[in-house]
Amino acid sequence: MFKDSINAFARENVELAHSVCSRDKQLDEMNREVNRKLTERMMDDREQLRGYFNLILVARAFERVGDHAENISEEAVYAAAAEDIRHQTLAVSA
């Protein structure tokens, strides 16, 4: 995602930038799922609390990288197309 966001900005590729933004939503969901599973394991295996907590922190760091990639992509869209896509939500199909 980060590499794609840099490429989208450098090449003024609006479509690639949009794809990075949509992938960030998937990364957010993956982070929530990892946190849920690791929290469950923490409750079952208290001897490994530190390890599980460290994994939660690593997952959070990756999620933050995704957030930064999304921000770069939003700036890429603005620079290339003068379209402000910050704070927009993707339409969910019913």
- What's the mean pLDDT when you consider all of the chain? 90
pLDDT-derived band at 89, boundaries 50, 70, 90: low
Residue 93 tokens read as 């199909």
What pLDDT does 81 receive? 79
* CATH number belonging to domain 2-81: 1.20.58.220
pLDDT digits (tens, 9 = 90+) for 55-86: 999 999 999 999 999 999 999 999 987 877 87
Q: Among 6, 10, 24, 3, which residue's Cα sits nearest to residue 87? A: 24
Q: What single DSSP character describes residue 63?
A: H
Among the residues of 12-94, which ranges form H helices? Answer: 14-44, 49-81
pTM: 0.78
